[in-house]
Amino acid sequence: MSDIAPLAMDAVSLTLPSAAGPVEILRGLDVRVEAGERVAVVGPSGSGKSSLIAVAAGLERPTSGAVALFGRDLARMDEDGRARLRRGKVSLVFQSFHLLPNMTAAENVAAPLEIAGRRDAAEVAQAWLERVGLSGRARHYPHQLSGGEQQRVALARALAPRPQLLFADEPTGNLDAANAALVAGLMFDLVAETGAALVLVTHDDTLAARAHRTVRLRDGRVAA
């Protein structure tokens, strides 16, 4: 395995303010994800799963501890620096699809490629829509797509730049069983094909079983 892991979290804690006083969300987490590794993060509601992804991706600063993406210490970067590091290397897929409503499916997939200056963004976007079975829906807007179709567009958008690390936060949580199975199958197949590492937050034990290993959280700590 590479000495430089896509993700390394060392003694990471996160405490957030609330009306009732400070709340400990994460407590001394040590998590390392190697290149190409698929890791499922599971645990009861409120155990800190989504907060782990927010901190790991540099969207939330930890209260203490260190987070490194590809060997780069996030604490040493400002917001713009973290965004530059993520660009092209890190993608995220969420439970609520976060598609831009005024853009077609093809335009949504092409958007991060265009931001990266890719001249072939439109062609690559169309190819990725074909890979997720939506080539015929390229000109449809999000409101014209089913939930399963929207999540497949979101998956194509996340993987089109060929990131080295994909964070997926309950990507099947808003889908019925059939669409959940379809999206999950596509996600694991495409991650394996691109060689990206995957950090998957899920409440679905069947989905978690497809990962290389499982990190189980309880009360903000790694339980197993």
Question: What's the pLDDT tens digit per position in 5-33?
Answer: 999 999 999 999 999 999 999 999 999 99
Report the 10 Å Cβ neighbour count for 169: 21
pTM of the model as a whole: 0.93
Domain boundaries, the chain: 36-60+86-222
d(CA 37, CA 200): 11
Quick one: 36-60+86-222 is in which CATH superfamily?
Answer: P-loop containing nucleotide triphosphate hydrolases (3.40.50.300)
120 contact partners, CB below 8 Å, separation of at least 6 = 113
Residue 78 exposed, middle or buried by CB count within 10 Å (0-12, 13-18, 19+): exposed
Question: What's the pLDDT tens digit per position in 43-85?
Answer: 999 899 999 999 999 999 999 999 999 999 999 999 999 998 8
What pLDDT shows up at residue 1? 42
